[in-house]
């Protein structure tokens, strides 16, 4: 007896040799890496709280301009403390939530620094 079910076409990548790439999320570095939770919300507020507490305790200056930070100022004051990711989230998303990658910076300094990789902060460009 013949089957009434139509045969499925073989759409496997081996047939054409072309593999459709997966669409990357904005916060992913590559397809082999797990997605990273975006920097926002309660977790980011808690990270800022930790950075401020440690910075206040150690009187840590801004990691970008090396000037003192008034840790009593609150966002959105331009000179308030913000979390600077030493290795930028754009290039190292896997380090986004690593407290060892956080440092205090003035909000203005942090915004102007962008996602540039800064040498001298444990990163070298001599490869």
Task: Give the domain range for residue 105.
Answer: 61-113
Query: Using omega within 30 degrees of 0 as the cis cutoff, is the peptide bond preceding 75 cis?
Result: no
Q: What is the pLDDT of residues 39-85, one digit of tens each?
A: 999 999 999 999 999 999 999 999 999 999 999 999 999 999 999 99
Share of the chain above pLDDT 70, in %: 64
Residue 28 lies in a domain: no
Domain count for the chain: 1
Res. 34 pLDDT band, cuts 50 70 90? confident
Residue 99 lies in a domain: yes
Residue 55 lies in a domain: no
Please indicate, yes or no, whether the overall pTM of this predicted structure exceeds 0.85.
no
Residue 81 lies in a domain: yes
For 15-40, letters b (16+ CB in 10 Å) and e give eeeeeeeeeeeeeebeeeeeebeeee
């Amino acid at each position: 007896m013949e089957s009434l079910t139509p045969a499925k076409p073989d759409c496997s990548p081996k047939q054409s040799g072309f593999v459709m790439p997966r669409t990357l999320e904005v916060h992913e570095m590559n397809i082999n890496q797990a997605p990273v939770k975006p920097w926002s919300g309660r977790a980011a507020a808690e990270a800022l709280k930790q950075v401020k507490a440690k910075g206040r305790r150690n009187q840590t200056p801004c990691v970008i301009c090396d000037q003192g930070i008034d840790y009593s100022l609150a966002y959105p004051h331009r000179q308030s403390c913000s979390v600077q990711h030493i290795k930028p989230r754009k290039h190292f998303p896997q380090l986004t939530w690593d407290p060892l990658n956080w440092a205090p910076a003035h909000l203005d300094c942090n915004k102007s620094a962008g996602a540039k990789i800064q040498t001298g902060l444990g990163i070298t460009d001599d490869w």
